Amino acid sequence: MNRQDAKNAKETLRNIINSHTFLSALGDRAKSFDMHRALRGIVRDSLQVALHRKLLAALVVIGAGLRLYLMADKSIWLDEAFSIIISQRDLTGVLQMVVRTDTHPPLYYLLLKMWLVFGDGEVWVRLLSTLFSLAAIPLIYKVAAELYENKWVGLIGATILTLSPFQVWYAQETRMYAMLTFFVLSSAYFLLRGLRDGERKDWTGYVLTTIVALYTDNGAIWYVATITIFYLLSIKRFSVRFRQWILSQSAIGLLYLPWLPFFWRQTRQVTEDFWLPAPSFHTVLDTFLDFHSLNFPLIELSLIYMAMIFVWAYIIPRKTWQRRFAGLWLFVPLGISLLLSLRQPIFLSRNLIVASLGYYLLIAGTIWQFKSRKAILALLLPLVAMNVVSIGHNAWYEEKEDWRTIAGYVAQEIQSKPDGLVVFIPGYAELPFSYYFRQYDVSIRTQGYPGDEILLHPQPREVEDVSALMEGIPYVWLVVREIESDDPDQTVKAWLDNHGYVRQEDFLRKDLRVLTYDRWDKAPVSASPAPARSGLQAYLPIIHRDIQLETYIVRPGETLLEIALRFDTTVQFLMDANRLQDPHSITEGTELYVPEVEPDDSSAGNEGP
């Protein structure tokens, strides 16, 4: 008797028990051993269903607590700000900007657009992802129970996803990864039911949820590839479902066809502009570690646990189609992404979040094969402990780009320094900055380098001449995110250093920097350095060892800027070399250290200020 027959038999028995005929004829026959055992089985199943529901509800509550904990503690970072700002455009604008500036399909942004009607605070914009992540907990329970035909395996899978630091992290981001997780699991649930029962409603559900996943994130393509490879490898087992499977795949292809031209356009953008380095062995290993327990401090323990799981999954037991399904779900996305990265690197753990679901199902099935309750707990509890440690570590110590503090610092500076300019390197760094800066009652001119961010500036300006950009600007703040890749020659900084701007204090926040420059005639006059404030790092001068210094006597009427130009150096360099706090403090006869030059060059330098 197969599973469906057993289910039908139990349902028939319940109906008989509830009928009047049964009650009137019960008599002594109810005492028969077979009937008693059947009744006891029904009671046991009912109690087990109730227990599973309670445990699953408890997991959802725990998952909610973990996903809501310190949700607003970390700042909105670049990718989140992109999601928010692009979703605030009108419907046509969203679709146009997605195709023009992004590498993802539009469905998440359209849903977020409706969500933002009720607000755009830090917690609210992230809550959409949290809800999808919570809904994925009972879904993976359903998927694992269907796959392994055992609801206890479903509970193990739900426990793993509930406590996964990888899933918790992206449940707190205003991005599409949690939504993708939900719809991919929905698709898998309908697929497994369709392969088992062949009912039209299941195949319809599979088609609809799969196409929604494809319009949510391109990572769903890895999942569709996995399903295709799995069915072709298992075609003998599911041969009776071939017609339904081929019709479903064809329907998915037809429904995705309208987006295909835009997908190819986005693919070309990735080829031209994507920033990822080529994947290495360490990149792949880090991805597995992210799936397993994101940022767990003791990597060795994670590696030992993963090795044990893979040994027990593929070496010790006999192979089953269920393990093949879970294994392909894990390894096919990784393999395809690696192959494509040979031409253009796209290998990134968050882009492969679909593959993490295969890992969780593989762990759940591998743990359950031991049957013994003690063995199951002995394998599951270490993973739970590692994940709890990782979640705490991520909540308390892992940082995102702190644009909240950066915007607050610049807003405070601007209040005492009007008519300045904020330059963003690169230009898209203005996205998260503007999200926080809007709350301050100040305004400032901004410019992206090498060009403005199109989402914020309908007519973006490109910087062709730094001199023209800085004309008449007394104060400049360089807000730097990736100067090495977007301005490798440090063009703007070098121009400021060589044209009379005095670098003040640097404001540092992990990978973000604010370099503050005052024009030499606006530089503060003080007898001692300004006291360092929280988050500030006083500029530390670097006098290169290969630069020889000589003394120079200041002539009547000379300024520090004139001397800097004469000796082909910067005002900041002279201030550092001579420990000057005020660029105006030099007078006739002051002895300065300057870079050593040939005798003929000292009088042949630039004379103009």
Q: CATH number of the domain at 580, please.
A: 3.10.350.10
CB of 501 closer than 8 Å to CB of 513:
no
**pLDDT(408) > 80:** yes
Facing residues of 285 across strands? none
Structure tokens at 272: 């031209």
**pLDDT(40) > 70:** no
CB atoms within 10 A of CB 367: 24
Would residue 543 count as lying in a domain?
no
Domain identity same for 310 and 193: yes
CB of 108 closer than 8 Å to CB of 87:
no
| Alpha carbons 280 and 204: distance in angstroms, whole number | 40
How high does pLDDT run on average in the chain?
Answer: 86
Would residue 434 count as lying in a domain?
yes
CA quadruple 148, 384, 353, 55: dihedral sign: positive
Q: What is the pLDDT of residue 48?
A: 78
Domain identity same for 375 and 443: no
**pLDDT(524) > 50:** yes
Strand pairing class (421-425; 512-519): unpaired
Q: What is the pLDDT of residue 602?
A: 42
Q: Is 589 exposed, middle or buried (0-12, 13-18, 19+ CB in 10 A)?
A: exposed
| Alpha carbons 215 and 109: distance in angstroms, whole number | 10
CB of 210 closer than 8 Å to CB of 220:
yes
Domain identity same for 443 and 476: yes
Considering its fold, how many domains does the chain have in total?
4
Phi first, then psi: what are they for 154, rounded to 5°?
-60, -40
pLDDT tens per residue, range 453-491:
999 998 999 999 999 999 999 999 999 987 666 777 788
Domain identity same for 37 and 16: no
| Alpha carbons 394 and 389: distance in angstroms, whole number | 9
Predicted TM-score (pTM) of this structure: 0.83
Domain identity same for 344 and 417: no
Q: What is the pLDDT of residue 531?
A: 37
Domain identity same for 435 and 561: no
Q: Amino acid letter at 607?
A: E
Cβ contacts of residue 413 below 8 Å, gap of 6+? Answer: 475, 477, 516
Domain identity same for 240 and 96: yes
Facing residues of 475 across strands? 518
Select from 469, 148, 483 the least CA-distant residue to 322.
148
Structure tokens at 452: 């403005």
CA quadruple 186, 192, 193, 195: dihedral sign: positive
Structure tokens at 160: 């793993």
Q: What is the pLDDT of residue 229?
A: 97
Strand pairing class (475-480; 421-425): parallel
CB atoms within 10 A of CB 537: 11
Q: What is the pLDDT of residue 528?
A: 36
Domain identity same for 164 and 188: yes
Domain identity same for 321 and 412: no
Select from 353, 210, 224, 229 the least CA-distant residue to 294.
353
